Amino acid sequence: KISREFIDGLPKSELHVHLEGTLEPELKLKLAQKNNINIGQETIEDVEATYHYDDLASFLAVYYPGMDVLQTTDDFYELAMSYLNKAKSQGVRHVEMFFDPQAHVVRGVPLNCVMEGFYQACVDARAMNIDAHLIMCFLRDMSARSAIDLLNAAKPYRSKILGIGLDSDEHHNPPLKFMLPFSMAVEQGYHITMHADVDQVDSIDHIKQALEIINVERLDHGTNIVEDKDMVDWVNHLHLGLTSCPLSNKLITDNDLKGDEILDLLDEGVKISINSDDPAYFGGYIADNYEALVKEYKVTPEQVVQLAKNSFETAWLSEKQKEMYL
Ligand code: ADE
Ligand code: ZN
């Protein structure tokens, strides 16, 4: 029997968490009041009642409007610090956090507020013994031109951003749409990763584009490769990391943590890890995700340890830094 204490105590790296997805109902209400923003709900229960969805699109329809409450540098700082405190309590030692600047800039919030707030939280995380970094995402339902504009606008913050990701609505928004901004990002020395959401239309085709043309270093979700043995071999050959998020799978796919797929891939040697995605919206942080998997599937302690090891092996750390954790 694998205990919660064992899971919490296991040093973990989190590679797939959206900072805006860590906005708990309580903080959302508090910031709405502070910034005088009418979000349509007045109690925590009312906000919680809006946290219901049955697919990615219906989730995003709650997620983006919720960001309206984030207005100032302090708001972004407080959001990130409250995530980091949660992560600390669940055994996170290293984290690479996604954020969505376009969703803020289109609302008139300056990129500077987003960057300063989130980056200060990364600096202050060191005192908590967490090594925290930022991955700036392009929204794939916006244009490639908009992604390039963001990349250019982010030049003054180059040293504060570890990598570039791609998220939001995948339907009709294939990786190839972002070939130019991703190749520019690589030229600027960024690490790159991309979402390949679970059970999307054309999932395998999108993953092929991400791996063979864009040359991503990780795949976020990406568990659909389990359908294609050659692709599993290719992912293994590349030592590519897959960042899987069980509670997210359950909440926005078909009530399925996708534990069979995760454990099959793990057995095949794929460097797959467990992560929380949008923990405030999907009912749990990283250890809650491990716990959900362990409760619903037959998982050995060795498998749990391997999942945590994979999270460090596929982190954007130097080999020397990895040795410290592994
Ligand atoms: N943005 C935040 N969470 C996301 C998810 N699970 N998939 C795609 N885009 C996202
Ligand atoms: Zn995600």
Model confidence pLDDT, tens digit, residues 52-68: 898 999 999 999 999 99
CB 226 within 8 A of CB 264: yes
The pTM of the full predicted model, rounded to 2 decimals, is 0.98
Percent of the chain topping pLDDT 70: 100
What pLDDT digit, counting tens, does each position of 170-213 carry?
A: 999 999 999 999 999 999 999 999 999 999 999 999 999 999 99
CB 287 within 8 A of CB 8: yes
What's the pLDDT band for 11 if we cut at 50, 70, 90? very high
Looking at residue 150, what is its pLDDT?
99
The yes/no answer to whether this complex scores an ipTM above 0.95 is yes
CA 192 to ligand 2 centroid distance, Å:
14
Asked if the model's pLDDT at residue 254 lies above 90, the reply is no
Ramachandran bin of 277, using left for φ above 0, alpha for ψ from -120 to 50, beta for the remaining angles: left
- Mean per-residue pLDDT, 275-279: 98
Which amino acid, one-letter code, is at 228? D
CA 220 to ligand 2 centroid distance, Å:
7
Looking at residue 54, what is its pLDDT?
87
* Ion ligand 2 residue ranges (Cβ < 5 Å): 277
Mutation choice for ligand 1 from 20, 98, 193, 195, CB with most ligand atoms inside 8 A: 195
- Check the annotation: does 18 bind a ligand: yes
Looking at residue 152, what is its pLDDT?
99
Please state whether beta strands 191-196 and 163-167 pair in parallel, antiparallel, or not at all (unpaired).
Answer: parallel
CA distances from 22 to 18, 26, 178 (A): 7, 11, 26
- Which residue's alpha carbon is at the smallest distance from atom 9 of ligand 1? 168
Q: What share of the chain is helix, strand, coil (3-state, %, to 5)?
A: 55, 15, 30
- Mean per-residue pLDDT, 213-235: 98
CB 22 within 8 A of CB 83: yes
Domains and CATH numbers, the chain: 4-315 (3.20.20.140)
What pLDDT digit, counting tens, does each position of 65-120 carry?
A: 999 999 999 999 999 999 999 999 999 999 999 999 999 999 999 999 999 999 99
For all residues of the chain together, what is the average pLDDT? 97
Looking at residue 142, what is its pLDDT?
98
Percent of the chain topping pLDDT 90: 98
Looking at residue 166, what is its pLDDT?
99
